[in-house]
């Protein structure tokens, strides 16, 4: 019996190549091929756990359990929202208001930072009150995902030389 293999061949950008090398080093394997295969095995196990309703946690150096959010593995929430929808994006998984390029997180963040009633937030964004309420519910329910995506965006901007520091002068609820 002959061992059948399939050759995989694809182009990568310099940034992707650097990411693959970091993956290789991080997994402690000898080749990029081994890193890709090992990462695929790890993601398959994680996806299996989350698809059955499991939640991923990591233990911090202080022994505290912290929820691990991997947007690509988070369950899709398409059906539970009337005003919110997914938009194609290479790495963002947060929802947007239907018919607008407005992330629900932006409305939620505005409400958290600037205060005001839900009706005032709806008026300031020119959206129905029910849509503003849905954005707020979504933001409250998905804080881990939104924090992770904000960190990802800061890292990506930093890699191209743009510094984004959080504004700590504003009060939070």
pLDDT in tens, the chain (173 residues): 567 888 888 898 999 999 999 999 999 999 999 999 999 999 888 888 877 667 888 898 999 988 887 767 765 555 578 999 988 888 888 999 998 989 999 999 999 999 889 999 999 999 999 999 999 999 999 998 999 998 888 989 988 988 877 655 544 44
Residue 61: DSSP 8-state: T
Q: Does 49 share its domain with 80?
A: no
Q: Does 134 share its domain with 93?
A: yes
97: in domain:
yes
pTM of the model: 0.55
d(CA 17, CA 84): 35
Residue with tokens 């293999």: 5
Q: 35 exposed, middle or buried (CB, 10 Å; 0-12, 13-18, 19+)?
A: buried
169: in domain:
no
6: in domain:
no
Q: Does 50 share its domain with 91?
A: no
User: Residue 75: what pLDDT?
Assistant: 59
Domain that holds residue 43: 14-54
């Amino acid at each position: 019996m002959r061992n059948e293999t399939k050759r995989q061949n694809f182009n990568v950008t310099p940034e992707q190549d650097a990411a693959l090398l970091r993956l290789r080093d991080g997994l402690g394997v000898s080749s990029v091929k081994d890193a890709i295969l090992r990462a695929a095995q790890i993601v398959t196990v994680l996806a299996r756990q989350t698809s059955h309703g499991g939640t991923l946690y990591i233990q911090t150096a202080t022994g505290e359990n912290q929820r691990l959010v991997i947007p690509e593995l988070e369950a899709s929430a398409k059906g539970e929202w009337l005003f919110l929808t997914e938009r194609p994006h290479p790495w963002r998984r947060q929802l947007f208001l239907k018919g607008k390029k407005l992330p629900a997180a932006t409305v939620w963040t505005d409400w958290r930072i600037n205060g005001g009633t839900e009706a005032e937030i709806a008026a300031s964004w020119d959206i129905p009150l029910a849509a503003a309420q849905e954005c707020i519910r979504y933001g409250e329910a998905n804080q881990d995902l939104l924090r992770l995506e904000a960190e990802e965006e800061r890292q990506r901007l930093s890699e191209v030389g743009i510094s984004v520091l959080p504004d700590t002068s504003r009060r939070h609820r």
